Amino acid sequence: MNKVTRPDTNEIIRMLSITCPKDIDALYKQAYEVKKQFVGTTVYFRGIVELSNICAKNCYYCGIRRDNPHVERFKLTEEEVIKSALWAYEQHYGSVVLQSGERSDEEFVCFIENTVKALKERTDGRLGITLSLGEQTEETYRRWYTAGAHRYLLRIETSSPELYKKLHPADHDWQARWDCIRTLKKLGYQTGTGVMIGLPYQTLEDLAKDVQFFYDEDIDMIGMGPFIPHADTPLANAIPDYDGDKQLELALKMIAVCRILLQDINIASTTALQALKPDGRELGLLAGANIIMPNITDPQYRANYQLYNGKPCLDENASLCRNCLERRISSIGETIGYDQWGDSPHFTNPVN
């Protein structure tokens, strides 16, 4: 049950249309006040392991899509995943995210099930485990939940089925994705979703509907970031006058709008923000986000997990990213919530 009222389309469009720097600043400040009031200024870390870039899908925007031949495909062993996740646990990150390209074969389903179980066992159930492994059957989601995963991230990418069609091949189905989000919620996962911002053909009205989608679906956690073209994809040149600064600004405005209108949810300050500007993730926090997902993937694999061009930290290891992010976060006067899962108040107090 939502305690806030359903955001109004025109109100969202008005906020997203603000161009005067002084007014944009006021929007971020307003969002920051709402953030302070509802979720505070503690940033929660989710260490992310990119465990494989093998993907059965062919999304037109993504650098690791099936038909991109320029990517060397990899998959980590169970021990490699566990090693990275335990490192994060020892660093007092409350939780980890296991992410990969989409696969639904039994070998993969089993691999994840076993890895999640092992991680739970080896941390006495204390490490929070989020999965970001795409569309799966209800049975698979149930197995992974039973194994110990309690959060799942599945971006809807856009709430518009028409726009979704333009960004994906014919066999990628918006409705199926939506059904997955509902199934995840039904099974008890704390469910996160999100969209890309500044997509080709996307209008401000589409973005307004995205915010309403988050509201209607009673979403606990949002991870969204700017669309960034990848040279080896069909959408490489879909925005001829692509302007990174404008993309960043629109993405930050979306974060602010979601914080102001949805209040007590978790919002990630995503790596794609940092791809457009070195301090992009700090700007995300200042615009209302409260979650950061430090990359804990071994550097030997990072170059082959580029969903978009310009992804930062390709040569850095997990410790460097940790130190760097600690510095960045304290530079804006915020603290890190070590040893905590950092569930959103929206999830823990759904009927307030």
Q: Which residues pair with 258 in a beta bridge?
A: none
Q: Work out whether 307 is an interface residue with ligand 5AD (CB under 6 A).
A: yes
45, 152, 227, 305: which one binds ligand 5AD (CB under 6 A)? 227
Which 3 state secondary structure label does DSSP give 270?
coil
Which 3 state secondary structure label does DSSP give 225?
strand
Q: Which stretch binds ligand SF4 (CB under 6 A): 52-60, 118-126, 200-208, 341-349?
A: 52-60
Write out the DSSP string of 58-121. Answer: --TT-TT-TT-TTS---B--HHHHHHHHHHHHHTT-SEEEEEES---SHHHHHHHHHHHHHHHH
Pairing of strands 221-226, 95-100: unpaired
Residues 155-174 close enough to bind ligand 5AD by CB under 6 A: 155, 157
Size of the site for ligand SF4 (CB under 6 A): 10
Q: Work out whether 57 is an interface residue with ligand SF4 (CB under 6 A).
A: yes
Residues in Cβ contact with 123 at an 8 Å cutoff, skipping those fewer than 6 apart: 86, 89
Q: Based on CB atoms, which residue is closest to ligand 5AD, 24 or 236?
A: 236
Q: Work out whether 71 is an interface residue with ligand SF4 (CB under 6 A).
A: no
Partner whose footprint covers residue 324, from ligand SF4, ligand 5AD, ligand FES, none (CB < 5 to 8 Å by kind): ligand FES
Write out the DSSP string of 140-178. Answer: HHHHHHHHT--EEE---B-S-HHHHHHHS-TT--HHHHH
Q: Based on CB atoms, which residue is closest to ligand SF4, 261 or 307?
A: 307
Please state the closest distance from residue 314 (CB atom) to ligand FES, in A: 9
Q: Which stretch binds ligand 5AD (CB under 6 A): 41-49, 223-231, 329-337, 338-346?
A: 223-231
Residue type, 113: E
12, 27, 59, 211: which one binds ligand SF4 (CB under 6 A)? 59
Kindly list the distances between the CA atom of residue 346 and the CA atoms of 182, 190, 266, in Å, as whole numbers in the listed order. 17, 10, 8
Radius of gyration of the chain (CA): 19
Q: Work out whether 94 is an interface residue with ligand SF4 (CB under 6 A).
A: no
Partner whose footprint covers residue 316, from ligand FES, ligand SF4, ligand 5AD, none (CB < 5 to 8 Å by kind): ligand FES
Judge whether 30 and 260 are in contact, CB under 8 Å: yes
Q: Which stretch binds ligand SF4 (CB under 6 A): 54-62, 146-154, 257-265, 318-326?
A: 54-62
CA 292/CA 330 separation, integer angstroms: 13
Where does this chain bind ligand SF4 (CB under 6 A)?
55, 57, 59, 62, 64-65, 101-102, 134, 307
For binding to ligand 5AD (CB under 6 A), which residues are involved? 61-62, 155, 157, 196, 225, 227-228, 230, 272, 307-308
